[in-house]
């Protein structure tokens, strides 16, 4: 029988990424031990949101092309929606 994966919230806050774009984040730990960070952008201007999206997409493409980012010996990928 397959068990459902559950998520426990951890740290949350705001970080500033490239070009001074502030992103909110929430870290989660899944019941299977996998760590997840959710990034979110809160803007009211569509052009600002579109610009931030394209900047994050360009960054994600670079990360994937390099094969991920290694932190403390572990590989991670940054994928934003």
Domain tally, the chain: 1
Residue 81 has a pLDDT of 44
Q: What's the mean pLDDT when you consider all of the chain?
A: 79
Distance CA 66, CA 48 (A): 27
More confident of the two residues 18 and 32 = 32
Q: Collect contacts of 51-56 with beta carbons under 8 A, ≥24 apart.
A: 52/21, 55/17, 55/18, 55/19, 55/21, 56/17, 56/80
pLDDT digits (tens, 9 = 90+) for 25-58: 999 999 988 888 888 877 778 888 888 788 878 8
pLDDT exceeds 70 at position 8: yes
Quote the domain boundaries for residue 20. 7-76
**Cβ(79)–Cβ(61) below 8 Å:** no
Query: Quick check: is 53 in a domain?
Result: yes
Note the pLDDT of residue 59.
Answer: 80
Tell me whether residue 2 is in a domain: no
What are residue 53's DSSP bridge partners?
none
Task: Give the helix/strand (H/E) hosting 20.
Answer: none
pLDDT of residue 78 exceeding 70, the answer is no
């Amino acid at each position: 029988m397959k068990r459902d994966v559950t998520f426990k919230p951890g740290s949350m806050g705001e970080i500033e990424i490239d070009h001074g774009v502030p992103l909110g984040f929430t870290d989660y730990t899944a019941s299977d031990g996998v760590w997840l960070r959710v990034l979110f952008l809160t803007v009211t201007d569509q052009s600002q949101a579109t610009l931030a999206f394209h900047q994050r997409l360009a960054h994600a493409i670079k990360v994937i092309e390099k094969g991920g980012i290694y932190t403390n010996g572990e590989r991670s990928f940054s994928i934003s929606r």
